[in-house]
Amino acid sequence: MPAKGFMPVARVGCSACLAVAMSLSCQIASGQDETREKLLLGCWQHTSPYQRDRIPPDKREWGTTTWCFEKEGRIVTRTVACSRVGGCDGWEEEREYRWRENLLEIDATDLDPNSPTYMKWVWRACRLIFAGRDRMSLQNCSFSPDEWVRAREAN
């Protein structure tokens, strides 16, 4: 047992190891951000979780959307939506995205009538979660938290 007021040598060594480990951890984390940005590039598809002929009573339509993330912060979106009793409609849009620290921000129109930015463009910050190379989800933002599946690799 060491005398009072003295720190065992092993603890000093562990403190030094901890400092080195924390430094390496920060380097690895910044590398993971770069990898995450590269993983996002390409096209991702999200489809309604139920079949078109079995749209739940609380839903109005079935659909699929594809978001293609390109370099320089450009997203091309293609959406097809089909109503419960009628036909289908499809449209294509261009959006923008950017990285702020570890969050992915996507531009969107604010559709909340109680918001001071109602019907204006805003940036929606999302936590990007990858569940493997070909599956991801957008968490803690106004977009669906359901899983997206890679439809096409980046060119």
Render pLDDT for 89-111 as a digit per residue (tens, 0 to 9): 999 999 999 999 889 999 999 88
Average pLDDT over every residue of 1-13: 42
Question: Does residue 129 register a pLDDT over 60?
Answer: yes
Does the pLDDT value for residue 78 go beyond 50?
yes
The share of the chain scoring above pLDDT 70, in percent, equals 78
Average pLDDT over residues 68-82: 94
Closest listed residue to residue 124, CA positions, set 150, 103, 146: 103
pLDDT of 14 > 80? The answer is no
Distance (Å, whole) CA 90 – CA 107:
20
Position 106: which residue type?
Answer: I
User: Residues 29-38: what's their mean pLDDT?
Assistant: 66
Model pTM?
A: 0.70
- Residue-level pLDDT at 148: 96
Helix, strand, or coil (residue 102): coil
Supply 81's token pair. 């939506």
How do strand 61-70 and strand 42-47 relate by DSSP bridges? antiparallel
